[in-house]
Amino acid sequence: MALIEFQKGGLYVPEADVYIDPWRRVKKALITHGHSDHARWGHHRYVCADSSKAILQHRLGDINIRGVPFGESFLVNGVQFTFYPAGHIVGSAQIKVEYQDEIWVVSGDYKTEDDGISGAFEPVPCDVFITESTFGLPIYTWLDQSIIFDEINQWWATNRDAGVTSILTGYTLGKAQRLLSGLDTSIGPIYTHGAIENMTKVIRSSGVPLPDTIRITPETPKKDLVGAMVVAPPSATGSPWMKRFKTVSIATASGWMQLRGARRRRSVDRGFVLSDHADWHGLNQTIEATGASKIYATHGYTDVFRRWLESKGLEAGVVKTRFEGELAEINEGSEPEEEEQP
Amino acid sequence: MKRFAQLFQSLDQTTKTNQKVAALQQYFSEAPDDDKLWTIALLSHRRPRRSVTISLVREWAAEMAGLPVWLFDESYHIVGDLAETIALVLPKPVKTSERSLTDWIEHVIALKDLEDEQKREGMLEAWRSLNHRERFVFNKLMTGGFRIGVSQKLMTRALGRATGIDENILAHRLMGDWSPQTTTFEELVLQERAADDLSKPYPFYLAYALDVSYEQLGPPADWQAERKWDGIRGQLIKRDGHLFLWSRGEELVTDRFPEFEVLTAFMSDGIVLDGEILPFKDGVPLTFQKLQTRIGRKKVTKRILQEAPLILMAYDLLEHEGEDLRDHPIRHRRRILEEVVQSVNQEVLRLSEIIPFDNWPVLEQERDRSRELFSEGIMLKRLDSTYQSGRKKGDWWKWKIDPLTIDAVMIYAQQGHGRRANLFTDYTFAVWDGDSLVPFAKAYSGLTDAEFREITTFVRRNTLERFGPVRSVQPNLVFEIAFEGIQASKRHKSGVALRFPRMHRWRKDKHPKEANTLHDLMEMLKMYG
């Protein structure tokens, strides 16, 4: 029996009778992070990293949940579990599963660059590594976030000088806070869409330093928004919510913006290449650092990535999951991001 | 190169026309003359000839990136643009370069006659010295079209603003057979033209598709109606003893279509005709397919001349006795045109006939006969209209017949290119032959971006098999395919070839089993083929 089985309902650890990020309702779910394709509604019991707990409670309401500090192991039916930082978003974790001298690691979503708010990723040595491969192609390589934030701030300053409102879109959970952390507050005030303001409040109160933001309400004077920065979820673009702004420049920050075609298709004014997922080099370096002899790719360019790993002499497989990577961030995922608490 | 790469980025970063014009105007005000000239050339599809084959460029890029060729190709399928793929996978540059656009283009041209090893070194040298953006532009020079959402018209407008020269005059000066290697910016753009510029065509006046009901056009007596023919728009020029034939893509095609040579002797000087280049035999037009055998073919054999002889169906006269007539109303131009065609009296030059009508329903009946006359519909021209330049609304309309349609099942999907990269937008459609599906057409236009996104999600979830970039999918989606004509074809499995197929509607209401059959298609072939 494999330590982790790939079942219809999700990644299953039979010895412990627990699931990791399941998409069907189960008794006990270990959750890597708070995005809706990983943390779903309706499980009996949730276990997550400590720093993810408040986020899950905010998103899923009154649930039975336990938070565990990073690096602290716990046993379920004799199987040992440990959460390690995944660097993807605040509270995101990789999950190490150990049983009888065998070690498997489920990466969840991860990025290798330390963004300053999500915890620094560390590769975890293991025998079998179940990795995401959202950007598992050599065309996806990221620049340091400091360079991207310089571009973003410059764009904002130029817009401000022209009396234009800058609207920057990214996931409500994760990308929005990362964007906030990189904005230069000396340029002007930062406004937020309600969904983002709520989530940011939760994350700020858990001790993550984020700049001051102002929630946009129907009462917000229109003239105050001129030249300001507005952080909004991707779904806000093209919605009636946008009507309150006079002249705007809209930008999307996502790994998908790496491709010119994707940028132009979104018909945003600017596309900044900023992803919360590992790039090509990040994936390859991580796999090498884990020392794993068997690799499973869960989502992204899985088939190509598997062939690449095999060509390097690794044993590799593909697992069909319902994880989506950043697709919903450019409105191309199959399910819209949940903006508000159910 | 830095300035040009910056221009490219500015153009690429905006969808707003006035911002594009502003960026171009600034470039044209600041760049050195030779760079400006090359920029005009690139934006008007006058790219230098390819000096290194695509397969070698691909191979060397993969090698420099340390990637197996299959992985490079997979990446290319995703990106949908070779120049961009190369720019994305190459390692960071090791130095910077201050060489100008012209310098780099000359570098590229010079590779042409070198041995492969030297070509390779030339390419690697460029890639080592250019940053990401510059590489992308450089690769575009190497690999193909420079489509960046800037029409020639837009470029001309910006150039007009930067130089203070009237836009229409510029449009005229930029036409024709020139290359940066044979002229200068001063000579092409700035110098006033002497009358010896014999070959210059006028910018074509293009019609819009009729989007109002005919009642709104006013009295029929204000209009002239002709058949709309399915050929290539052409401009025939006779000046000072020389004959020139231009196609609408502003290409000089005189040599390709030798049947018009005879007119040199029969037409007087100072005449410019506008019309349709059509394959025509025994008093009727042949299909566009026949014309296609002529396009792109530089050497013309006797047999081809017999099988697909061409004529010019003339419908307008732009210059007569050396005088520009474009400001005259068409009722006047038409009168002289008739005289000209009559006096030339040659088979290769025919007059587009006027359809008499005194009320709109009569014309509508005429339109309904289009298909049997091998025409695409009706052209309507306001009798008072002058000959304008470019696509202008109001005076000229094309009133096409409704397309033929058939319901088909999508069976293959492939990712698009450019703006549509990363989306599945190119589909193959099939009709039923008993229980099996027979592919008969490919189409990639007619849907909205939102529909393409929805179908992309469907394709990702319903892939059966992959063949390189192509995926076979569950035959679940039904589309109404519209097309302009149908021909028997031995090259196609279905036995038919469609003219200009596109997706008319996504029939979400239809079950795949309700799609049409091969038998239906054959019936259409019998009726319209």
Any domain includes A337: no
Of A137, A141, A261, the CB nearest to B420: A261
Q: Is there a single domain that holds both residue A122 and residue A81?
A: yes
In a domain, A153, yes or no: yes
Q: Do domains B2-143 and B404-528 have the same CATH topology?
A: no
Cβ within 8 Å, pair B419-A265 = yes
Cα distances (Å, whole numbers) of residue B75 to A137, A191, B249: 7, 38, 33
Of A57-66, B312-321, B372-381, B419-428, the poorest mean pLDDT is in: B419-428
Structure tokens at B337: 């045109």
pLDDT of residue A340: 32
E strand map for B357-395: 377-382, 390-391
Size of interface A-B (CB pairs under 8 A): 73
pLDDT of amino acid A341: 31
Final residue of a domain: which of A256, A272, A288? A272
Model pLDDT, residue B418: 64
Amino acid occupying residue B173: R
SS3 percent helix, strand, coil of chain B, rounded to 5, is 40, 25, 35
Chain B: nearest CA to A137, how far in angstroms?
Answer: 7
Q: Are residues A14 and A136 in the same domain?
A: yes
Nearest to B78 among A137, A141, A269 (CB): A137
Q: Is residue A336 part of a domain?
A: no
User: Are A303 and B466 within 8 A, CB to CB?
Assistant: yes
3-state secondary structure chain A: CCCCEEECCEEEECCCCEEECCCCCCCEEECCCCCCCCCCCCCCEEEEEHHHHHHHHHHHCCCCEEEECCCCCEEECCEEEEEEECCCCCCCEEEEEEECCEEEEECCCCCCCCCCCCCCCCCCCCCEEEEEECCCCCCCCCCCHHHHHHHHHHHHHHHHHCCCEEEEECCCCCHHHHHHHHCCCCCCCEEECHHHHHHHHHHHHCCCCCCCCEECCCCCCHHHHCCCEEEECHHHCCCHHHHHCCCEEEEEECHHHHCHHHHHHCCCCEEECCCCCCCHHHHHHHHHHHCCCEEEEEEECHHHHHHHHHHCCCEEEECCCCCCCCHHHHCCCCCCCCCCCC
Q: Which residue has the higher pLDDT, B189 or A14?
A: A14
Q: Does A318 touch chain B (CB under 8 A)?
A: no
CA A13/CA A79 separation, integer angstroms = 9
Instruction: Express each pLDDT in B437-468 by its tens digit.
Output: 999 999 998 898 889 989 998 998 888 887 76
Q: Is the pLDDT of residue B79 over 90?
A: no
In the CATH hierarchy, which top-level class contains the domain B404-528? mainly beta
Q: Within the 75-104 window of chain B, which residues sit less than 8 Å (CB to CB) from chain A?
A: 75, 78-81, 84-85, 88-89
Please give the order of strands across the beta sheet that includes A190-192: A214-215, A190-192, A229-232, A165-169, A248-253, A270-272
Regarding whether A219 and A98 lie in a shared domain, the answer is no
CB contact under 8 A, A311 and B68: yes
Distance CA B338, CA B509 (A): 53
Q: Which residue has better confidence, B110 or B151?
A: B110
Domain that holds residue A258: 145-272
Residues in B closer than 8 angstroms to A247, CB to CB, are none
Question: Given 1.10.1060.10, 3.40.190.10, 1.10.3260.10, 3.40.50.2300, which CATH number is that of B2-143?
Answer: 1.10.3260.10
Q: Which CATH number fits domain B205-400: 1.20.1260.10, 3.40.50.300, 3.40.50.1460, 3.30.470.30?
A: 3.30.470.30
At residue B84, what is the residue type?
E
Per-residue pLDDT at B167 exceeds 80 = no
Q: What does the block give as tokens for A84?
A: 């390690």
B432: β partners:
B437, B517
Assign B426 to helix, strand or coil: strand
Q: Are B293 and B307 in contact (CB under 8 A)?
A: yes
Has residue A300 been placed in a domain?
A: yes
Q: Please check whether residues A18 and A55 belong to one and the same domain.
A: yes
Contact criterion met (CB below 8 Å) for A95 and A21: no
More confident: A270 or A32: A32
φ and ψ at residue B402, rounded to 5 degrees: -65, 145
CA-nearest of B115, B93, B112, B2 to B52 is: B112
Are residues B79 and A267, on separate chains, in Cβ contact within 8 Å? no
Binned at pLDDT 50, 70 and 90, residue B411 comes out as very high
Nearest by Cα to A91 from A178, A169, A257, A203:
A203
Q: Is residue A342 part of a domain?
A: no
Please give the pLDDT value at position A21.
96
Question: In the predicted model, is pLDDT for residue A336 greater than 70?
Answer: no
Mean pLDDT, chain A, whole residue set: 92
pLDDT band at A333 (very low <50, low <70, confident <90, very high): very low
Distance in angstroms (rounded) separating the CA atoms of residues B67 and A308: 10
For A310, the token pair is 């095999």
How many Cβ atoms are within 10 Å of A120's Cβ, its own excluded? 12
The pLDDT score that the predictor gives to residue B194 is: 55
ipTM of this complex prediction, to 2 decimal places: 0.90
The pLDDT of residue B246: 86
Q: Which residues contact B100 (CB under 8 A, 6 or more apart)?
A: B1, B3, B32, B34, B35
C-alpha closest to that of A38 among A103, A134, A145, A152:
A134
Residues in chain A: 342
User: At how many degrees (to 10) do helices B33-43 and B152-163 cross?
Assistant: 160
Residue ranges per domain, chain B?
A: 2-143, 205-400, 404-528
**pLDDT band for position B303 (cuts 50, 70, 90):** confident
Closest residue by Cα to residue A43 from A60, A59, A67: A60
- What percent of chain B has a predicted confidence (pLDDT) above 90? 62
Q: Is B418 on the interface with A (CB under 8 A)?
A: yes
The confidence score (pLDDT) of residue A269 equals 82
Residue A267's pLDDT band, with cuts at 50, 70 and 90, is low
B12, B14, B89 ranked by CB distance to A138: nearest: B89
pLDDT at B195: 43
Whether A126 and A9 share a structural domain: yes
Which positions 156-195 of B are in contact with A (Cβ < 8 Å)? Answer: none
Pairwise CA distance, residues A126 & A121, whole Å: 15
* CB contacts, 8 Å: B418 with chain A: 260-261, 264
What element of type H or E holds B408?
Answer: strand B404-415
Pair (A259, A286) in one structural domain: no
pLDDT in tens, A42-90: 999 999 999 999 999 999 999 999 999 999 999 999 999 999 999 999 9
B200 vs A193: which has the higher pLDDT? A193
Residue of A nearest to B74 (CA): A304
Lookup result for tokens 């690769």 = B139
Q: Is B65 on the interface with A (CB under 8 A)?
A: yes
CB contact under 8 A, A138 and B67: yes
A307 shares a domain with A261: no
Across residues B164-189, what is the average pLDDT? 82
Angle at the Cα of A157 from the Cα atoms of A154 and A161, rounded to 5 degrees: 140
Closest among A149, A151, A208, A209 to A183, alpha carbons compared: A149
More confident residue, A130 or B371: A130
Quickly state the pLDDT bin for A329 (edges 50, 70, 90): low
Residue of chain A whose Cα is closest to the Cα of B83: A260
Note every long-range contact of B329-333, with CB atoms under 8 Å and residues 24 or more positions apart, other chains counting: B329/B383, B329/B384, B329/B385, B329/B386, B330/B224, B330/B381, B330/B382, B330/B383, B330/B384, B330/B385, B330/B386, B330/B387, B331/B224, B331/B383, B331/B384, B333/B387
Quickly state the pLDDT bin for A248 (edges 50, 70, 90): very high
**Residues of A (267-296) whose Cβ lies below 8 Å from B:** 267, 269-270
Q: SS3 for B85?
A: helix
Q: Is the pLDDT of residue A198 over 80?
A: yes
Q: In sequence order, what are the residues at sequence separation of 6 or more whose Cβ sits closer than 8 angstroms to the Cβ of residue A144?
A: A113
- Please indicate, yes or no, whether residues A18 and A53 belong to a single structural domain of this protein: yes
Tokens of A241: 């919510």
The rounded distance, in Å, linking the Cα atoms of B149 and B241 is 39
Whole-angstrom distance, CA of residue A282 vs CA of residue A280 = 5
Structurally, chain A folds into a number of domains equal to 2
CB-based contact B100:B137 (threshold 8 Å): no
Going by pLDDT thresholds of 50, 70 and 90, the confidence category of residue A237 is confident
Residue B453 with chain A: CB contacts under 8 Å:
331-332
B146 or A139, which is more confident?
A139
pLDDT at B393: 84
pLDDT in tens, B33-75: 999 999 999 988 788 888 999 999 999 999 999 999 999 999 9
Mutate to test the interface with A, among B11, B20, B71 (most CBs of A within 10 A): B71
Q: Considering only residues 456 to 475 of chain B, which have any Cβ-Cβ distance to chain A shorter than 8 Å? A: 456-457, 461, 466
Worst-scoring range by mean pLDDT, A143-152, A229-238, B8-17, B247-256? B247-256
CATH of the domain at A132: 3.60.15.10
Mean pLDDT, residues B481-490: 88
Mean pLDDT score of chain B, rounded to an integer? 90
Whether residues A217 and A294 fall in one domain: no
pLDDT band with cut points at 50, 70 and 90 for residue B391:
confident
Mean pLDDT to the nearest integer, B502-518: 93
Task: Give the one of B70, B422, B449 whose C-beta lies nearest to A259's C-beta.
Answer: B422
Of the partner residues A139, A264, A332, the one whose CB lies closest to the CB of residue B88: A139
Tell me the HSE value of B387 on the side-chain side, using a 13 A CA sphere. 21
- Looking at per-residue pLDDT, the higher value among B215 and A98 belongs to A98
A334/B427: higher pLDDT: B427
Q: Is the dihedral of CA A78, A98, A117, A342 positive or negative?
A: negative
B411 neighbors B432 (Cβ within 8 angstroms): no
Inform me whether the pLDDT recorded for A338 exceeds 50: no
pLDDT at B193: 66
Mean pLDDT computed over A305-332: 82
More confident residue, A163 or B499: A163
Considering only the beta carbons, identify the residue of B418, B453, B457 that sits closest to A261.
Answer: B418
pLDDT digits (tens, 9 = 90+) for A131-141: 999 999 999 99
Say whether both A31 and A136 belong to one domain.
yes
Rounded to whole angstroms, the Cα distance separating A166 from A157 reads 9
